[in-house]
Amino acid sequence: MGETTKIPLKDRIGNAAGKFAASRFVRAIMDAGFSVIPFSIIGSIFLILTVLQQAVPIPGFDVWYTATVGHFTNLFQSVYNATMGIIALVFSGTFAYSYTKIYRDEEQLNLIPIDGLMMFLMGFFITVAELVWKNGRVEFLQTITKDKMVAGGYQASTAGIYRIGAVGIFVGLVVAWLTVQIYRYTVKHNWQIKMPPSVPSGVANSFSAIIPGFCVAVTISAINMALVFAGTDLFNLLFIPFSFISNIVDTWWGFLIILFLIHFLWWFGIHGATIISSFYSPIVLANMTANSHGAHHIFAGEILNAFITIGGSGATLGLAIWLVLRARSAQLKELGKVEIVPAFFNINEPILFGLPIVYNISLMIPFICAPLASGVVAYTAFAMRLVPVIRIQQPWPTPVGIGGYVATASWQGGVLAIICAIVAFIVWYPFIKHYDNVLLKQEKTTATA
């Protein structure tokens, strides 16, 4: 007990967060998050083509669009469906592959990542078909209403198959985790068909996956069937907590808590965005997809990089500009020259570790409060419907204003981003001004010593 009390609080928090960030689950989640970036950007490019009339408010443009590009909107939609419409497969599939690979490497097990991926796909598609218990037997759901069309158990529309889109990410993660754990268990207990050494590795690997794959199919089918008897299924059961969490983070207080946690962890030198985004990535993807079909979710897409953390964590773009133009101390002026260009692309590691902000109690308040202030402004603008919600995934390094314009496909989004950057700097100004004076005084003292 005495030993624990000797460890400073900041070190204990840092150690706990570091262990969590290094956990196998979080590392696999981060790989999954990176994997969807190209798909979401490609899908967003084609989505932009379908909303050009709104994004370009020039007289006569809508007439030109309807007579030319507008003829191909269904083609653009099909490309969007082939990217964002299958995002649950991409996200959860990459998680299964990476999670299997991590166990293989760290536990020295005979696990084959591609087999883990394929078994996940099998297990996931077991949950995609909607089944009901009717007339004493299992039947595929068949229903056609104004809001829902299900044929042969599959709900589909012009947006693609419903359950393999962004709404299926949470279910996919659970199925992927369960699949890998079953695969790992069977291998550890030698539940495999082993072929003679003379058999080619490709053939041997295909047989080695039979028993684990069978166990995955039986387990997920049994769970799903038990739920069907109860009047629901695995997708609907898991979608309830996912929707609940999604609703919480879409509130103003849930949104601000996320911003606080990201920057609180960053101040300890821990990449807060990496840790916290492992929780909210599925939610912002699902919300962005829903927005593209008419929903109004504020916490969606790359809202942080487009409107909140402009210039990087801490919303430091205005700070970087001030360092170049107005800083009097040599240290801050030189740092500004290094940071000014990266800041326009939301990269600010030179400031975080060079100013420094990490472990610097003098700058902790603005580092946390500046993004909270810009977050309040952005959330209010979206909530009051002054700016269209985010429907498009812009690359996170997109410069200020352009990112907001692209994300919302509106000029209002570009203006809001600039306003948010100004608000964040207003919070920064008195603190960085004082810090600059302190450093300048130290430099003068050192020079005359």
- The per-residue pLDDT for range 294-329, each reduced to its tens digit, is 899 999 999 999 999 999 999 999 999 999 999 999
pLDDT, tens digit, 9 for 90 and up, residues 99-114: 999 999 999 998 999 9
Instruction: Report pLDDT digits (tens) over 238-276.
Output: 887 878 788 888 899 999 999 999 998 888 777 777 778
State the angle between helix axes of 24-50 and 73-81 in degrees (0 to 180), rounded to the nearest 10.
180
How far apart, in whole angstroms, are the C-alpha atoms of residue 88 and residue 68? Answer: 33
Whether 1 shows a pLDDT value over 50: the answer reads no
- What is residue 308's predicted lDDT score, i.e. its pLDDT? 95
User: Taking the domains of the chain in order of start, what are their residue ranges?
Assistant: 85-244, 250-448
* pTM to 2 decimal places: 0.79
pLDDT band at 38 (very low <50, low <70, confident <90, very high): confident
Q: What contacts 24+ positions apart, CB below 8 Å, involve 21-26?
A: 21/270, 21/271, 21/274, 21/275, 24/99, 24/102, 24/103, 24/106, 25/99, 25/177, 26/275, 26/278
Rounded CA separation 33/274 (Å): 10
Q: In this structure, are residues 39 and 69 in contact, taking their beta carbons and an 8 Å threshold?
A: no
pLDDT digits (tens, 9 = 90+) for 376-423: 999 999 999 999 999 998 888 889 999 999 999 899 999 999 999 999
Structure confidence at residue 193 as a pLDDT band (50, 70, 90) = confident
pLDDT over 90 (residue 447)? no
**3-class SS string, the chain:** CHHHHHCCHHHHHHHHHHHHHCCHHHHHHHHHHHHHHHHHHHHHHHHHHHCHHHHCCCCCHHHHHHHCHHHHHHHHHHHHHCCHHHHHHHHHHHHHHHHHHHHHHHHCCCCCHHHHHHHHHHHHHHHHCCEEEECCEEEECCEECCCCEEECCEEEECCEEHHHCHHHHHHHHHHHHHHHHHHHHHHHCCCCCCCCCCCCHHHHHHHHCHHHHHHHHHHHHHHHHHHHHCCCCHHHHHHHHHHHHHHHHCCHHHHHHHHHHHHHHHHCCCCHHHHHHHHHHHHHHHHHHHHCCCCCCCCCCCHHHHHHCCCCCCCCHHHHHHHHHCCCCHHHHHHHHHHHHHHCCCCCHHHHHHCCCCCCHHHHHHHHHHHHHHHHHHHHHHHCCCCCCCCCCCCCCCCCCHHHHHHHCCHHHHHHHHHHHHHHHHHHHHHHHHHHHHHHHHHHHHHHC
Highest mean pLDDT range out of 7-11, 201-205, 373-377? Answer: 373-377
Lowest mean pLDDT among 68-72, 117-121, 199-203: 199-203
